[in-house]
Structure 1
Amino acid sequence: MPPKALALAIFLGLTVLKSSAQNAPEDTLLYSSTAKQVIDYFNTTIAEQSEIYNGAKYELYPPANKGTFYFQDKNYCIPSLIRYNGTWFKNIPVLYDVHNDVMISVNGNNLFVLDAERTSDIYLLEHHFIYLNTKSPDDLTPGFYDLLYDGKSQVLVKRTKLIDESKSTEIVYEDKTAIYVKKDNKYFPVSSKSALMDIFKNKGKELNQYLKSNKIKYNKDEEGTVARLASYYDQISN
């Protein structure tokens, strides 16, 4: 096949893969012939020569009565943009095990764990995950964080999946989140609107007016409110 035709086929295949992923069966990893061709092409032309493919093997966890271990409950790989060991790679198949906080990829028909410390950035399902390898006990726990805003200040969300042990006859995985603001090289947890305003208290009057003028309600969108307020704070702070 001519190079241009092959490139077009790969592009179309990835487009189909992205649109098909939304409706894929729960236990499907490579769920269409087109998707398999695209991933196989990556494996044969790039993966065998890539340093990415050196992680431990991984086995999928079975679905529970409610929920899964995986980000947005998608337990199949999604083409993603990642930065691995300082190099950007496009359309890498990625699956995020939120419960164990590990990023997974696929080589042939085998799943494997990406080296977290070398995987600094992952754009997955319209989210930007970064890996923090913090050293100080006063910093956040090392792991993958969803980066909502990155300016002079920073807004991060730690996403976790917990097993609800109160259900005696069912296995239920529940989503939990924790929001953090990085300001002056320190991380502050945001558990309420008052906690958020306390972080930016030197601009409290301006921020309250911003919330009122834009009709922003913290309880309706906690993550979005924190990100918008941090961005506005950076704009008015010189």
Structure 2
Amino acid sequence: MNKALSATLVLICIHLTCLDSNFAQSTSKTNNPSADYSTELFFNSAIKQQSRLYNGAAFYDYPTVVEGSANFQDLNTFSTGTVVYQDFRFENVPLMYDIYQDKLISVLGKYNKYSLVSEKVSDFYLNDHHFKYIKVIDTTISVIRPGFYDLIHDGKSKIYVRRTKNMQFSLQNKVVTYYFVPKTSYYIERDQKYSTINGEKSFLSFFKDKKPELKKLLKEKKIKFRKQPDEAMVLLASYYESLTN
């Protein structure tokens, strides 16, 4: 261990011992956001590049024969986001989300891209979206696979969006070009069970007791479920929960 890191760890220990015991016990976990914020900012500032966050594999850009972007929202530049990694919350982290490989990417310096270990990321927040990593013990009986899911509604029912891209290719004048095709899948979690949402009829089947009211709301709001599925599902799930509380 080098002298700089040793000194940093000593500073952290001094900082923690100045806090009362109850506060110190809660600072390393994310179940107390107000307590976490102070210590985690100190942790991030003190450790910087030696933090546990920076321990993923190197990430390399796609070859020039691949057209388009593999990333969420087609963004090829880093955006500032938040990551919950091994129960530590890291703020103001440069992030990109490769939805083709389902990898969360960050960078050290200007050019050293690396992918975080997905299983160690419980949540990340990027461009007003909240992604959660869902672990699946038995993929033979589950409708979902392990990976990152966009949590668009977090209530009695949870609605997740799986945002992915597939790679296809074309051949013109003996030149092969690869490109990405986006795909979106929807899931609902109720009573700790995941189910697939295939459309409006499928979605409303989970709320049969209030189906007329929900259909009326869609009509009043002039929302077409097929064209605006995210907006429609969030609206209907929220309204259903307000009717049944």
Query: Does the pair score TM above 0.5?
Result: yes
Identity %: 38
Cα distance in 2 between the residues matched to 1:62 and 1:201: 49
Find the partner of 1:211 among 192, 214, 218. 218
In the alignment, what sits opposite 2:200?
Answer: 193
Deviation at 1:179, TM superposition (A): 0.9
Q: Would you say the 8 A contact 2:123–2:132 is kept in 1?
A: yes
**TM-score normalised by the chain length of structure 1:** 0.75
Q: String of CA shifts for 1:169-227, please: whole Å, max 9, x gaps.
A: 43221111001111222222122111111122222122112212222211221111112
Give unpaired runs (5+ residues) of structure 2: 1-43
Q: 1:47 to 1:139 in 2, by over 3 A?
A: farther
Deviation at 1:164, TM superposition (A): 2.5
Give 3-state SS (helix, strand or coil) of 1:178's partner: strand
Cα distance in 2 between the residues matched to 1:76 and 1:47: 21
**TM-score normalised by the chain length of structure 2:** 0.73
Give unpaired runs (5+ residues) of structure 1: 1-42
Deviation at 1:65, TM superposition (A): 6.1
Matched, 1:140 2:147: no
In the alignment, what sits opposite 1:151?
Answer: 155
- Alignment RMSD (CA, Å): 2.2
Q: Would you say the 8 A contact 2:143–2:196 is kept in 1?
A: no
Q: Would you say the 8 A contact 1:52–1:84 is kept in 2?
A: yes
In the alignment, what sits opposite 2:84?
Answer: 83
Q: 1:171 to 1:126 in 2, by over 3 A?
A: same
Give 3-state SS (helix, strand or coil) of 1:138's partner: coil
Cα distance in 1 between the residues matched to 2:161 and 2:216: 25
Cα distance in 2 between the residues matched to 1:184 and 1:167: 48
Q: Would you say the 8 A contact 1:156–1:179 is kept in 2?
A: yes
Runs of 4+ in 1 over 4 A off after TM superposition: 63-66, 166-169
Give 3-state SS (helix, strand or coil) of 1:235's partner: helix
Deviation at 1:148, TM superposition (A): 0.5
Q: Which amino acid aligns with 1:111?
A: K
In the alignment, what sits opposite 1:29?
Answer: none
Q: 1:219 to 1:139 in 2, by over 3 A?
A: closer
Matched, 1:179 2:183: no
Count residues in correspondence: 197
Matched, 1:114 2:111: no
